[in-house]
Structures are given as C-alpha cells and as structure tokens.
C-alpha cells in the first residue's frame, strides 16, 4: 500500500488535493491494478492533523506488521 495525492479541478478552475491510501494488486489476467482503500480528505484541510496521522500509521505498521524480534 502507498499514499497518493489526487488532484481534482472544478469547472471554475479551482484545484483541490485529496490524500488517499491505495493498494496494488493483480487481476485474474495478471494485469496490475490499483484500488483506493481509504480517502483521508483534503490535504489543505488536514493541516497539522497530517503529521499526527503519519505518526499513527507508522505506529500501527510497526505494531502489526513488524513485531519486535525475540
């Protein structure tokens, strides 16, 4: 999984950036595909919450995917 910033443009020319978590996989024919797992919101509105979110994701990944060695 990885983070993607998707940009959308409105009819009046305003641009908005959205933060998304994306998962890569292969379909039945072996072709590479991507699926949006979660949309975390507008980057500009996340502000300081973005740093907190990154720290929480880092903590979660270390705890669940990389357990301490014994």
The pLDDT of residue 62 = 81
Q: What is the pTM of this model?
A: 0.69
Q: What region does 60 belong to: left with phi over 0, alpha with psi -120 to 50, or beta?
A: alpha
Look at residue 42 and tell me if it is in a domain.
yes
- What long-range pairs does 4-7 form, CB within 8 A, spacing at least 24? 5/43
Look at residue 55 and tell me if it is in a domain.
yes
Look at residue 23 and tell me if it is in a domain.
yes
The pLDDT of residue 70 = 64
Look at residue 40 and tell me if it is in a domain.
yes
Look at residue 70 and tell me if it is in a domain.
no
* Weakly modelled stretches of the chain, pLDDT under 50: none
Total domains in the fold of the chain = 1
CA dist 34 and 28 (Å) reads 13
Domain span holding position 26: 2-65
Look at residue 54 and tell me if it is in a domain.
yes
């Amino acid at each position: 999984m990885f983070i993607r910033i998707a940009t959308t443009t409105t009819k009046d020319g305003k641009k908005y950036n959205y933060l998304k978590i994306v998962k890569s996989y292969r379909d039945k024919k072996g072709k590479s595909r991507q699926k949006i797992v979660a949309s975390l919101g507008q980057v500009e509105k996340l502000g300081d919450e973005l740093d907190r979110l990154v720290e929480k994701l880092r903590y979660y990944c270390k705890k669940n995917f990389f357990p301490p060695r014994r």
